[in-house]
Structure 1
Amino acid sequence: MKILTSTFNTKHNTAPFSQIKLDDYKPAFIESIAQAKAEIDAIISNAEAPTFENTIVALDFSGEKLDRLSSIFFNLNSAETCDEMQKIAQEVSPLLTEFSNDIALNEDLFKRVKTVYDQKDTLTLTTEQATLLDKKFKGFSRNGALLNDEDKLKLREIDTELAKLKLTYGENVLAETNNYQLHITNEADLKGLPDGAKEMAHSLAKSKNLEGWVFTLDFPSYLPFVTYVENRELRKEMAIAAGKKSFQNNEFDNQENVKRIVELRHKRANLLGYKSHSDFVLEERMAQNPEKVLSFLNDLLEKAKPAAQKEFAQLTAFAKELDGIEQLEKWDGAYYSEKLKQKLFNLDDELLKPYFKLENVLNGAFKVAEKLYGIRFKEVFDIDKYHQDVQTFEVLDENDNLVAIFYADFFPRKGKRNGAWMTSYKPQYIKDGINERPHVSIVCNFTPPTETKPSLLTFNEVTTLFHEFGHALHGLLANTTYPSLSGTSVYWDFVELPSQIMENWCYEPEALALFAKHYETGEIIPQHYVEKIKESASFLEGMATLRQLSFGILDMAYHAKSQTIADVKAFEKQAMEIASLYPDVAENCMSTSFSHIFQGSYSSGYYSYKWAEVLDADAFAYFQEKGIFNKEVATKFKNNVLSKGGTELPMELYKKFRGQEPKVEALLKRAGLI
């Protein structure tokens, strides 16, 4: 246990992963919570009058050990979990919820915070300090500090139940993902599937002592299957299996969890004086309220829908002409889109993959960051890691000073959840005159190397890596005083700007020349491929936009008004109808595995992907205007966006960088919708 509660005796104070035993966690949480409580008690019992320093700053730096422990434990629970770890998560989550409620509902602590807040007009505070004060006060008022005792108790009960429900929801989705496999013994059934995907499936079968090929719902296995396999019935089986995760009336079913989570979120919002969960969430977003979000989604829907319907008609006609398909179904989408893309652009992922060896792409991301922000990444082998696949890097500035520690974890495995994300093991902050540097990680699920081939990425995976790397830069380049305002601690609809803007470099010849080299010959990707990549970037963009909007609309349907949901499937179908193109699949329900909004933190926030696309299209237009590696623009972006975290309102930071508010036209133009 002591390993987790004492100062780490490691290089750069990095997490001592290999020394941690599962049995260490729960006692460490109990001890760290007790220590954090003592720190809070010290603030409350301070005989001096409340000041910004002895109350607000002291509160922001309290619970440092607990925060560090929580980040290690919950990050590993996503990237390297097991049944025992999930059991510990179920045991410690209520303890953490209770502790955060103890703080949020502590009247004596709130009195001190409120005393400082009430004096704010007479205090001489920097913008960052004023933001911190506002955030601390709202942290209490938005979490029940103004409630009576009876309602405070109700709030605690709701929060405890929600914490457990969200964990259970995620565990069910992971279990359903792990429980499915498609075992194929007849090679003819795999006609159309690229060799790399086939080889991976064969390796997987071998690891399970099976003949033939095994496919799972992990993205690197699932996506090539539904994109390339000619056998329509097998594509259908695979697509339906993916779409019915936790919607099978079995022990891992999430329908009741969805209903209960939605119900409790509304109750919680009402208790705190808000009309709905969305009203509560959006108060702390750039978008401000549900009406503005719905107006934004509907406005984009109106502009994208005609293009999407036209594209869908084109795809339907193409499928009919090619294979006599009368009705395009969901399991046909990726397959015929890829075929049509090949026909129109003579470009497919298999043609491009040899130019996107994982190591080269990662180095490309590093080089882009170096050219823009003057930092370099040096791989090191003396920093502890939680799995042999993880790579560790020191990030250095132009004078060889340490900027950050960077972890990269790229391949799927049992115990690692699907998808891609960035996270942090230690935040950046300034304390006692020392600028503590952050430890940042990106986690993805790319096709692993095989016996004959290195890990070769699809172009979509290339943009995914750059996207997560953009989030990482937001963490790595953080330069704020207070931990709670550092790095990605920004409004949720601003957090995707640094990640989404990075994807733009993947389409630029000047950037591609840095890393898109054939893994066997070293030849730089041919110019005509680059032109086709750019041309095809807006291919079926109307349909892709409609799909994203449908997710945002579903999210708002659940959270923007109080309601009783009798039937999750029927509710979902009705909500998404306005943005649907494909016929409904009776066996499938997205809500039961829509982890972003039911397990993650995107409830009432899914719109932010599109919102951030407007920001990133407008911001990148500025780079294009001045040059994609223009130092002056890059420095403005670094100093006003990447390093500033949540120290100011996002729109103010954006205007300092851009000189104006973002314009939606930049996105519509890039997407070929105008």
Structure 2
Amino acid sequence: MSNPLLATQGLPAFSQIRPEQIEPAIDQLLQDNRDTVARILSSLSTPDWDSLVAPLEEMNDRLSKAWSPVSHMNGVVNSDALREAYNACLPKLSQYWTEMGQNQEMFQAFQQLADSEAFAQLDEAQQKVVNNTLRDFRLSGIALQGEDKQRYAELQQRLSELTTRFSENVMDASDDWQKSIQDEADLAGLPPMALAAAKQLAEMKGKQGWLVTLDFPSYIATITYADNRELRKEIYTAFATRASDQGPGKGQWDNTAVMEEILTLRQALARLLGFDNYSEYSLATKMAETPQQVTDFLHDLAEKSLPVARRDYQQLCDFAREQHGIEQLEAWDLAYYSEKLKQARYAISEEQIRPYFPLPKVLSGLFAVAGKLFGIEISEVDSFDSWHKDARLFEVSRKGERIARFYLDLYAREKKRGGAWMDDCRVRRRLDDGALQLPVAYLVCNFNSPVGDAPALLTHNEVTTLFHEFGHGLHHMLTQIEYADVSGINGVAWDAVELPSQFLENWCYEPEALGLISGHYETGEPLPQDLLDKLLAARNFQSGMMMVRQIEFSLFDFRLHQEFVPGQTDVQQLLNEVRDQVAVIKPPAFNRFQHSFSHIFAGGYAAGYYSYKWAEVLSSDAFSRFEEEGVFSPEAGQDFRSYILEMGGSREPMDLFIAFRGREPNVDALLRHCGITEENA
């Protein structure tokens, strides 16, 4: 029987995937894999790469290619039937991976390979695969016996279900809230593009007037520009209380108990494996060696940033009071008056420069930047099997040879998970028949869709987001490694995985690159020099406040997973403690930020959110080489491609960074790029 999830060995056949087919197709694949494992182990005499590792890689890649489009569609075109099928498969996949991770015979075969003379004949990447696999066996409870082994399987299965429920609750709570507005005066202050988008959204829903929602483009436009303070308060309250016990939807999709159980089970999992807490367990696969290193790093950054952050906040309060008569800034006022202060100080706003960043120009410029830096060409594929009319497909080539492909899905819509992300669709690897499987990536954002005849117009922040995700994509697509487990972003320490993405953001501020990515959507006129000067001058506006906000999230996440005691730790109280230490802004008591903190409760950043700040140190220091040699230095670009992008997870990230930069990283470049200096404080 053919498997509908493997209809093509090239690209996924999204249109052929039916929710009712998913569970039986996954069941078939899991059984096939179990049979394959039994066959490999029964015929194994002396383990080597070809008899042990290669067939397991082939088997796992087959499963990955089947599950990838299902998981992707669940995030971007969610439906009740698809969600039900997806959730039905999660416990089966969790059980399968637990079985694989606790297969004693397989573990012993890998250990035998690692101890053999044949191991020395493997190349560096192959050795990394074997060593990583042995590490992962230990982290999967290979040493557990009897009831403990069963307990591990139960914990993993339940955590898989809970993290998915957390994400679903956030999506459902976000989709539920919307506000229909009949009087345009209530939306005074909103830029024309935001008004047109709200009008178009109402029309799509068959409503009169304008529609404001919690989709990020709608939310951020309203909270930043709406003169109506009550409207700002209303949408802030709805956004800040999603999936919680507070706000307009209180209790309906409440993640309180979900968070509590996730944290409880994570601590139990860590203890079962011999770690004191989940933060220690998390660091087993990261660059940082101890929890103390992480907290010291964050507190050091906070100490350097807080004086600048306090100055930023005081200036905002003074401005709101002196210029607008606001004696007490509320949470729903911060973005609004920050934007007014930015305009007053630099005579520039995101909306003012939006017309200069039409999506077609930004994309062509992004591809040109990547081409100059890394010697690649990118072209669009006109016809392909898609999940939505907004999705697009591109090919990446080098010297006329195709080396990768990627999908783009850039616009916000209902039943699509919020935020922006890159995920892998196919990984680069050498197949059994000698052919090379090329990498394929998904790149997803949530921008405003085009309004009327105009193309989608991006804010500079959105341009930066697109560059960020494309940096992740390049890490996946430009790899030269041919073993799946260390190809692309696979096997890369989590606190180094943000290096390429944050690195690429730097070109959004470089005049030479801005000339490529900007052009007025009506006239084609490049971003005028005066606006460019203002954009660059405003780059570090409130950078101190933004820095300590990220440190707040990072410390909260790390301490929560380090200190959590079931039934004793009050999550809100711990967050308040962190805010007392490092925050300059205290949200209102009803704020439930943690209830929609999907990065740590539904993503891969549990006890790892600090990775964003650590990778910023790496990316700023890496970019400083381009500042020294030229922002389009072919030598620096080739070295970054060779040492960082092409190597995947085949070597330790610190070794690769030193190979590129000539030394270990330091924090100075990050602080300089952010304008966090003693004189600025």
Q: TM bucket by the smaller chain?
A: over 0.9
Other-structure match for 1:590? 593
Other-structure match for 1:141? 138
Alignment of 1:301-312 (within 5 A): 301-312=302-313
- Counterparts of 1:389 and 1:47, CA distance in 2: 49
- Counterparts of 2:289 and 2:117, CA distance in 1: 23
Other-structure match for 1:507? 509
Contact 1:355 1:519 in 2 (8 A): yes
Alignment of 1:333-352 (within 5 A): 333-352=334-353
Other-structure match for 1:555? 557
Contact 1:493 1:605 in 2 (8 A): yes
1:278–1:120 CA distance, 2 compared to 1 (3 A): farther
Q: Secondary structure at the match of 2:288?
A: coil
**1:218 and 2:219 are equivalent in the alignment:** no
- Counterparts of 2:293 and 2:44, CA distance in 1: 46
Q: Secondary structure at the match of 2:418?
A: coil
Other-structure match for 1:518? 520
Q: CA deviation at 1:88?
A: 1.2
Q: CA deviation at 1:472?
A: 0.8
Other-structure match for 2:113? 116
Contact 2:98 2:153 in 1 (8 A): yes
Q: Deviations over 1:540-599 (max 9, x none)?
A: 000000110000011012101341345433332223321222233122211111000000
**1:65 and 2:62 are equivalent in the alignment:** yes
- Counterparts of 1:375 and 1:672, CA distance in 2: 33
Q: CA deviation at 1:503?
A: 0.7
Other-structure match for 1:83? 80
**1:55 and 2:45 are equivalent in the alignment:** no
Alignment of 1:199-598 (within 5 A): 199-248=196-245, 249-398=250-399, 400-432=400-432, 433-489=434-490, 490-564=492-566, 565=568, 567-598=570-601
- Counterparts of 1:251 and 1:519, CA distance in 2: 43
Q: Deviations over 1:429-461 (max 9, x none)?
A: 123432211111211011111114321001100
Contact 2:166 2:258 in 1 (8 A): yes
- Counterparts of 2:518 and 2:583, CA distance in 1: 36
In terms of mean alpha carbon deviation, does 201-210 or 580-589 score higher?
580-589
Q: Secondary structure at the match of 2:380?
A: strand
Contact 1:392 1:405 in 2 (8 A): yes
1:586–1:656 CA distance, 2 compared to 1 (3 A): same
In terms of mean alpha carbon deviation, does 16-25 or 364-373 score higher?
16-25
Q: Secondary structure at the match of 1:410?
A: strand
Moved over 4 A (4+): none
Q: CA deviation at 1:121?
A: 9.3
Contact 2:6 2:12 in 1 (8 A): no
Amino acid in the other structure paired with 1:384: D
Q: Please, which runs of 5 or more residues in structure 2 have no aligned partner?
A: none
Contact 2:5 2:22 in 1 (8 A): no
Q: Deviations over 1:42-62 (max 9, x none)?
A: 221124122243223333332
Q: CA deviation at 1:206?
A: 1.7
Q: CA deviation at 1:168?
A: 0.7
Q: 2:37 is matched with which residue: 27, 31, 40?
A: 40
Q: Secondary structure at the match of 1:62?
A: helix
- Counterparts of 1:3 and 1:451, CA distance in 2: 42
Contact 1:193 1:228 in 2 (8 A): yes
1:7–1:453 CA distance, 2 compared to 1 (3 A): closer
Other-structure match for 1:639? 642
Q: Deviations over 1:578-634 (max 9, x none)?
A: 122223312221111100000000001100111111111101110111111111111
Amino acid in the other structure paired with 1:576: R
Other-structure match for 1:101? 98
1:168–1:368 CA distance, 2 compared to 1 (3 A): same
Q: Secondary structure at the match of 2:286?
A: coil
- Counterparts of 1:520 and 1:671, CA distance in 2: 33
Q: 1:129 is matched with which residue: 126, 149, 169?
A: 126
Q: Deviations over 1:245-301 (max 9, x none)?
A: 111352310001111101100110000001111101112111122111101100000
Q: 1:628 is matched with which residue: 628, 631, 634?
A: 631
1:282–1:120 CA distance, 2 compared to 1 (3 A): farther
Contact 2:182 2:208 in 1 (8 A): yes
Q: 2:28 is matched with which residue: 3, 28, 31?
A: 31
Contact 2:556 2:574 in 1 (8 A): no
Using structure 1 for the length normalisation, give the TM-score. Answer: 0.97
Q: CA deviation at 1:91?
A: 0.7
Other-structure match for 1:161? 158
Q: CA deviation at 1:120?
A: 6.9
Contact 1:32 1:63 in 2 (8 A): no
Q: Deviations over 1:217-260 (max 9, x none)?
A: 11110001000011111111111110001113523100011111
Contact 1:389 1:411 in 2 (8 A): yes
Amino acid in the other structure paired with 1:222: Y
- Counterparts of 2:619 and 2:44, CA distance in 1: 49
1:190–1:562 CA distance, 2 compared to 1 (3 A): closer
Amino acid in the other structure paired with 2:413: R
Other-structure match for 1:2? 2
Alignment of 1:174-193 (within 5 A): 174-193=171-190
Q: Deviations over 1:123-172 (max 9, x none)?
A: 33322122111111011111100111221011011111101101111110
Other-structure match for 1:601? 604
Q: Secondary structure at the match of 1:479?
A: coil
Q: CA deviation at 1:188?
A: 1.4
- Counterparts of 1:143 and 1:20, CA distance in 2: 32
- Counterparts of 1:655 and 1:61, CA distance in 2: 33
Contact 1:5 1:32 in 2 (8 A): no
Amino acid in the other structure paired with 1:411: Y
1:138–1:620 CA distance, 2 compared to 1 (3 A): same
Contact 1:270 1:276 in 2 (8 A): yes
**1:660 and 2:663 are equivalent in the alignment:** yes
Contact 1:2 1:28 in 2 (8 A): no
- Counterparts of 1:41 and 1:297, CA distance in 2: 47
Contact 2:5 2:17 in 1 (8 A): no
1:411–1:5 CA distance, 2 compared to 1 (3 A): closer
Let me know the Cα RMSD of the aligned residues: 1.5
Contact 2:4 2:16 in 1 (8 A): no
Using structure 2 for the length normalisation, give the TM-score. Answer: 0.96
Aligned pair count? 670
- Counterparts of 2:586 and 2:394, CA distance in 1: 47
- Counterparts of 1:486 and 1:322, CA distance in 2: 55
